[in-house]
């Protein structure tokens, strides 16, 4: 976690990732000024580890409550003494709630903050210590089952012992001599007499002092052992598995650690030294590679990294492995912050005023949060997900409208992704939409791409070895730009075709694959004026997929019945409300015939058109929604086997839920607040309780709202999670194979994609930002297996590039060069869907072109 000393708030940053590597962009949490020491504990009894930080400059401590998935709430601050230098936790009043003790270097005392068990703390109580206390630990020194305190006092060259009364109060200190300038103190039973002893590291005398305990709260005189130059920190552990405690010391000036193996009688062997980074300041131990052998981690003050030394189990250690953190790391602790049974690391960074959280991935490798950049001005247009390299890990594909390329990010299966691999779509191409699949029937993933500005559709055929070749390009003869794209097998030839919606030309295009290596010229189908949204379904029960398009300017929907060979009948238009923005299908009256629901932006309502089962539809029935509805989907929200409707209302900052009666009619809406300008809504069961939940992308507030369903048609209040700027589209999927659904958002304003990983407690963490290119402006995305190779592929609409892009994956984290297919100049594809339109078991694509008035 890292902070910015020049900012008014001192942020904390959390890094995630996959294996040892430099830390990339971070998620930040505010702390106080000059955080000096950090420890962890469960302060609100929710079984999730929390963090407490001692802030030297602001004279307080920061409490950050953990969400159990590696993320933390914003800080709450509590006053301490002057110059808090060290902090530890324990239950000082035997109420089963963790309390805090802070060593205050400037005021020469310790602060006790009793915990309330809900994450909050009482005001401090202060007790005198020695001069300039530097370190504090707790333990039961007189065997009365009450925690006591010991403090290392740098200025008075001694330690203070304060015996606890068990009610949160303490006796006056008793002082014991140590070496010169004691910096750190820890406790342990070094002579196996069941009585706690003390070890102190003395920076001035370059040694450690061992004080054996008598079991009554008093201690023997010190015995001293040589360490390195200017030792700063000490911890204990059994490094050679002989059941005797050993000591490891961080030596500040000699840039190493000293390991002193214990004999079990209170004495120690001479030190063995191991190199670490510059100015090691703090050291802790833990098993970081799950081999049952203790390892060492060191915070190096002048190196901006921590050193991890894996133990061999015989008292010796491997050479260090380094991991980047913030500026001037001073203190380090370990704990399991994401409940994966692997130890993670927390570091307090002095000059960057923050703490670093490093999540362990596996076998001692430390995980970071990763951000993926594709360059300034990428203008992300759309994002889709799928299994592209046959490794069962979800991957991400992005259309970078502004930088004229497609970005591919391969997933590691742990919620992190490789850096973006970019596939050029050509100069001034403006990719706006893509689809992926096996377009030539060779069981290798290919890519189709709609290129907006140059009115072209390109195809990239996969070679099966991680590479793609540009096979062919198709020029579109209309003065239009593709807005949306979908794919499917429309002619039952077991090959995928592509359908493109052209916003300005009042039609749609169908591209049919042939000869196993290319696409036929597109087929255009007229739609209404300014088609905005497209979905597919079988409207006449002939087992052939049909198309329905919502036409914004002509205030109707176009239904195009499929012939099963990749061609479609001319459209039939049905009136709906004014300015329809979104269309969806479902069986609303349980007659096994698909019906249509449309969100009408201007009329603030939805139109329901019941299907007759022969491809025709009844006149619309209208139901009120909120202001300026933008997106509509369906689901059974009250588990009555009847489909219900949810609408995202941009103008009223809410969603409308209309419960279905099972006869094609709906109850009056119930509204639930979400963020500002909701643009996209999907439904899914996030918490595996068999009840559908809602997730909404909020355009202006740049976040997503999650509303958990009760299963009776009502929903909890929203929980909001930050996304990028102007989120336009949202999808869900399991990106790290943990059986928990995650959220992906395409952000038009920031030209990137936000990935929010889901956890058991229905918390979503903004795990990464995926930058997609200058002015790419993502609008719509789909995922499907386009080439029937069992791997998920990607299709994407690029509204400014006026094209469809197809990227076929080899299954080994690589793609061939793209093949692009222009959707026509100024067609502006804005929506896409997929299906098998010709019954050849291959996925086909249909997209709506806003400016070409076609699909």
- How many Cα neighbours within 13 Å face the side chain of 623? 24
Handedness of CA 273, 342, 771, 705 (dihedral sign): negative
The whole-number pLDDT of residue 719 equals: 84
Instruction: Phi first, then psi: give them for residue 764, nearest 5 degrees.
Output: -115, 130
Please indicate whether residue 477 or residue 126 has the higher confidence score (pLDDT): 126
88 neighbors 134 (Cβ within 8 angstroms): no
pLDDT digits 0-9 by tens, 556-585: 999 999 888 878 899 999 999 999 999 999
Please indicate whether residue 601 or residue 835 has the higher confidence score (pLDDT): 601
774 neighbors 379 (Cβ within 8 angstroms): yes
pLDDT digits 0-9 by tens, 438-491: 666 656 666 666 666 555 666 666 554 445 555 445 544 434 566 556 666 656
pLDDT digits 0-9 by tens, 95-121: 989 999 999 999 999 999 999 998 999
**Which part of the chain is CATH 2.140.10.20?**
380-854
Comparing CA positions, the residue from 306, 305, 307, 308 lying closest to residue 288 is 308
**Secondary structure (DSSP) of 264-320:** SSS-BPPPEEEE-SSSEEEEEEE-SSSSSS-EEEEEETTTTEEEEE-B-SSS-BPPP
Contacts of 220 (CB under 8 A, 6+ apart): 211, 212, 213, 214
pLDDT digits 0-9 by tens, 239-248: 999 999 999 9
Please indicate whether residue 678 or residue 515 has the higher confidence score (pLDDT): 678
pLDDT band at 3 (very low <50, low <70, confident <90, very high): very low
Most confident of 162-166, 377-381, 686-690, 698-702: 162-166
Contacts of 601 (CB under 8 A, 6+ apart): 552, 578, 579, 580, 581, 628, 629, 630, 650
> What's the whole-number mean pLDDT along residues 771-783?
59
d(CA 126, CA 774): 56
pLDDT digits 0-9 by tens, 392-434: 665 555 566 667 777 666 655 554 446 666 667 777 767 766 6
Q: What class does CATH assign to 380-854?
A: mainly beta
> What's the whole-number mean pLDDT along residues 718-723?
80
The whole-number pLDDT of residue 179 equals: 94
Least trusted range by pLDDT, from 192-201, 239-248, 294-303:
294-303
d(CA 608, CA 663): 12
108 neighbors 129 (Cβ within 8 angstroms): yes
pTM: predicted TM-score of the whole model, two decimal places: 0.44
The whole-number pLDDT of residue 733 equals: 62
Task: Give strand pairing partners of 158.
Answer: 153, 177
525 neighbors 511 (Cβ within 8 angstroms): no
Mean pLDDT value across the chain: 77
Please indicate whether residue 318 or residue 498 has the higher confidence score (pLDDT): 318
C-alpha distance from residue 122 to each of 72, 100, 343 (Å): 21, 10, 30
pLDDT digits 0-9 by tens, 601-657: 999 999 999 999 999 999 999 999 999 999 999 999 999 999 999 999 999 999 999
Comparing CA positions, the residue from 820, 828, 735 lying closest to residue 777 is 828
DSSP 8-state assignment for residue 72? B
Tell whether the model's pLDDT for residue 8 goes beyond 60.
Answer: no
Please indicate whether residue 565 or residue 196 has the higher confidence score (pLDDT): 196
Please indicate whether residue 157 or residue 735 has the higher confidence score (pLDDT): 157
The whole-number pLDDT of residue 823 equals: 66
Tell whether the model's pLDDT for residue 365 goes beyond 60.
Answer: no
C-alpha distance from residue 202 to each of 156, 158, 176, 550 (Å): 12, 10, 14, 76
Quick count: other Cβ atoms within 10 Å of Cβ 572? 15
Element (H, E) at 60: strand 60-64
CA angle, 771 then 775 then 777, to 5°: 80
Output the six-digit token pair for 357. 């959280």
Tell whether the model's pLDDT for residue 66 goes beyond 70.
Answer: yes
The whole-number pLDDT of residue 70 equals: 67
CA angle, 757 then 763 then 768, to 5°: 30
Comparing CA positions, the residue from 69, 71, 72 lying closest to residue 740 is 69
Least trusted range by pLDDT, from 316-325, 505-514, 541-550:
505-514
Please indicate whether residue 75 or residue 854 has the higher confidence score (pLDDT): 75
d(CA 261, CA 267): 9
pLDDT band at 12 (very low <50, low <70, confident <90, very high): very low
pLDDT digits 0-9 by tens, 243-279: 999 999 999 999 999 999 999 999 999 999 999 999 8
The whole-number pLDDT of residue 366 equals: 47
Comparing CA positions, the residue from 83, 86, 95, 99 lying closest to residue 41 is 99
Least trusted range by pLDDT, from 540-549, 642-651, 656-665:
540-549
The whole-number pLDDT of residue 722 equals: 76
d(CA 698, CA 708): 17
pLDDT digits 0-9 by tens, 729-762: 666 666 555 667 766 666 666 655 566 666 555 5
> What's the whole-number mean pLDDT along residues 655-681?
94
DSSP strands (E only) in 479-530: 482-488, 497-504, 507-514, 518-526
């Amino acid at each position: 976690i890292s902070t910015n000393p020049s900012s008014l708030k001192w942020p904390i940053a959390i890094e995630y990732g996959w294996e040892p590597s430099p830390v990339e962009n971070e998620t930040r949490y505010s702390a106080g000024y000059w955080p000096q020491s950090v420890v962890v504990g469960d302060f609100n009894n929710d079984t999730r580890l929390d963090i407490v930080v001692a802030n030297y400059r602001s004279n307080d401590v920061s409490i950050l409550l953990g969400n159990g998935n590696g993320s933390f709430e914003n800080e709450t601050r509590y006053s301490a003494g002057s110059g808090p230098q060290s902090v530890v936790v324990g239950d000082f009043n035997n109420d089963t709630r963790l309390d805090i003790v802070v060593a205050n270097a400037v005021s020469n005392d310790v602060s006790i903050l009793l915990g309330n068990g809900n994450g909050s703390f009482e005001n401090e109580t202060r007790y005198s210590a020695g001069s300039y206390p530097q370190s504090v630990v707790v333990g039961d020194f007189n065997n009365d089952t009450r925690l006591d305190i010991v403090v290392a006092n740098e200025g008075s060259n001694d330690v203070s012992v304060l015996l606890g009364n068990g009610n949160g109060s303490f006796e006056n200190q008793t002082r014991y001599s140590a070496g010169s300038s004691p910096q750190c103190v820890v406790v342990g039973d070094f002579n196996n007499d069941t009585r706690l002893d003390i070890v102190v590291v003395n920076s001035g005398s370059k040694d450690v002092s061992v004080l054996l305990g008598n079991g009554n709260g008093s201690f023997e005189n010190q015995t001293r052992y040589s360490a390195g130059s200017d030792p700063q920190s000490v911890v204990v552990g059994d490094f050679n598995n002989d059941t005797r405690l050993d000591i490891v010391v961080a030596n500040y000036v000699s840039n190493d650690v000293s390991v002193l193996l214990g004999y079990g009688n209170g004495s120690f062997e001479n030190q063995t030294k191991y190199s670490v980074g510059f100015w090691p300041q703090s050291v802790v131990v833990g098993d970081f590679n799950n081999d049952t052998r203790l390892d060492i981690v060191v915070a190096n003050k002048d190196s901006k990294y921590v050193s991890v030394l894996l133990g061999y189990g015989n008292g010796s250690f491997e050479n260090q492995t380094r991991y980047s953190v913030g500026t001037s790391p001073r203190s380090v602790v370990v704990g399991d912050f994401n409940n994966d049974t692997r130890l993670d690391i927390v570091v307090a960074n002095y000059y960057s005023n923050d703490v670093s959280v490093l999540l362990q991935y596996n076998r001692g490798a430390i995980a970071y949060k990763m951000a993926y950049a594709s360059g300034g001005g990428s203008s992300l247009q759309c994002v889709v997900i799928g299994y592209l390299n046959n490794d069962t890990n979800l991957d991400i594909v992005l259309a970078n409208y502004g930088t004229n390329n497609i970005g591919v990010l391969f997933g590691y299966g742990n919620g992190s992704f490789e850096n973006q691999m970019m596939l050029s779509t050509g100069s001034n191409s403006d990719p706006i939409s893509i689809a992926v699949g096996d377009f030539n029937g060779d069981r290798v993933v290919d890519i189709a791409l709609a290129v907006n500005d140059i009115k072209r559709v390109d195809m990239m055929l996969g070679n099966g070895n991680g590479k793609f070749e540009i096979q062919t390009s198709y020029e579109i003869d209309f003065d239009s730009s593709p807005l949306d794209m979908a794919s499917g097998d429309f002619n039952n030839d077991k090959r995928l075709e592509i359908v493109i919606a052209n916003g300005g030309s009042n039609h749609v295009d169908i591209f049919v694959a042939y000869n196993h290596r290319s696409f036929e010229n597109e087929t255009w189908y007229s739609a209404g004026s300014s088609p905005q949204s497209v979905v597919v379904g079988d409207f006449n029960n002939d087992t052939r997929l049909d198309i329905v398009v919502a036409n914004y300017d002509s205030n109707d929907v176009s239904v195009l019945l499929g012939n099963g060979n990749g061609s479609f009948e001319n459209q039939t238009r049905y009136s709906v409300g004014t300015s329809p923005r979104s269309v969806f299908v479902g069986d609303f009256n349980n007659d096994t015939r698909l019906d249509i629901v449309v969100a009408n932006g201007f009329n603030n309502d939805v139109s329901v058109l019941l299907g007759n089962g022969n491809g025709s539809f009844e006149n619309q029935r209208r139901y009120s929604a909120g202001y300026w509805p933008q997106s509509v989907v369906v689901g059974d929200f009250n588990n009555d086997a009847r489909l219900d409707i949810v609408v995202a209302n941009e103008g009223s900052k809410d969603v409308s839920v209309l419960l279905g009666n099972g006869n094609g009619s709906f109850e009056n809406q119930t509204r639930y607040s979400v963020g500002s300008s909701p643009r996209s809504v999907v439904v899914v069961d996030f918490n595996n309780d068999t009840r559908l939940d809602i997730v909404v992308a909020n355009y202006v507030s740049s976040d997503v709202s999650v509303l958990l369903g009760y299963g009776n048609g009502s929903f909890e209040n929203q929980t909001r999670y930050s996304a990028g700027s102007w989120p336009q589209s949202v999808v869900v999927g399991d990106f790290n194979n943990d059986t928990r659904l995650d959220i992906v958002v395409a952000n038009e304003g920031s030209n990137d994609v936000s990935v929010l990983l889901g956890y058991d407690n229905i918390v979503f963490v903004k795990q990464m930002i995926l930058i997609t290119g200058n002015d790419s402006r993502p609008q719509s995305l789909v995922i499907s297996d386009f080439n029937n190779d069992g791997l998920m592929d990607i299709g994407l609409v690029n509204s400014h590039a006026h094209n469809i892009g197809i990227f076929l994956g080899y299954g080994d984290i690589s793609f061939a060069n793209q093949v692009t297919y222009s959707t026509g100049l100024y067609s502006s594809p804005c929506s896409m869907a997929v299906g098998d339109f010709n019954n050849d078991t291959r996925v086909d694509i249909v997209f709506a072109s806003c400016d070409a008035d076609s699909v």
